[in-house]
Amino acid sequence: MAEAPRAALPDAVAPRARDRASTEDRILAAVGAVLAREGFAGLGVNAVAREAGVDKVLIYRYFGGLPELLRAWGQSGRFWPRLQDLLGDEPAALLALPAAERYARFFDHFIDELRRRLLTLEILAAEMQQPNPLTDILDAEREAWGADASRVLGGSDFAQAPCLNAVTLLLVMGVQVLLVRTRHTPVFSGIDLHSEAGWAQIKASIAEVARRLLPPPPPAGSDAGQ
């Protein structure tokens, strides 16, 4: 008598999941490679598929199309630092810091993460010179990132400084512009932007702004403000 067919092994699902994850990772890496070599003008599903060594059908199956693929690339941490990158190895410890120190530490991590993303700086420069529908997608991802950062870092302490939102906007944009300038102009306003000392000076200035805008609350039971 013939044996009854065996049920599919549950363990077979894991390799397939790993294969898909590996393929998705290869596709996302290919997006960065195409952008670095050809810019937005050369970015397309066919170009990414060739770079990744996959059938373009997989890109449509896994991501949808080029806009969705670029959005996934923007969210992956390859282009823009994720919140977990900026919170560091001990996020709970950072979030427990006094507001001013928390704010300064966040910018320390933000500067360090952007400095090491050379492709990101090239894309930021391209956005400033020739914005297009694809750069708009990445810009929207940064807007969402900003909202998440405000929610995670904020709270009642930040609410006490109504001007903080605009100041943060200026600082975030200022860091981006300075980093883009470092591609061709290493010194700006007397600060060497190719040196650790130069960026340490900028970080210290941001920390001082934070201390002035976010002073510690008065000790419990004090008569401050009465």
For 63, phi then psi, to 5°, come to -120, -30
Q: Are 65 and 86 in contact (CB under 8 A)?
A: no
For the beta carbon of residue 173, count every other beta carbon within 10 angstroms.
10
pTM of the entire predicted model: 0.79
Contacts of residue 38, defined as CB under 8 A and 6 or more positions apart, other chains included, come to: 47
Q: Which residue has the tokens 């699902």?
A: 13
Query: How far apart (Å, rounded) are the C-alpha atoms in residues 133 and 136?
Result: 5
pLDDT digits (tens, 9 = 90+) for 64-96: 999 999 999 988 888 898 888 888 888 899 888
By CB neighbour count within 10 A (0-12 exposed, 13-18 middle, 19+ buried), where does 75 fall? Answer: middle
pLDDT tens readout for residues 152-177: 877 677 777 788 888 988 999 999 99
The DSSP code for 11 is: G
- What are the boundaries of each domain within the chain? 18-75, 83-213
The candidate with the shortest Cα–Cα distance to 74, out of 18, 141, 3, is 141
Classify domain 18-75 at the CATH topology level: Arc Repressor Mutant, subunit A (1.10.10)
* Residue 105 CA neighbour count, 13 Å, CB half: 19
Distance of CA 222 to the CA centre of its chain: 41
- Partnered with residue 191 across adjacent β-strands are 188
- pLDDT for 177-209, tens place per residue? 999 999 888 999 999 999 999 999 999 999 999
5-9, 47-51, 90-94, 97-101: lowest mean pLDDT where? Answer: 5-9
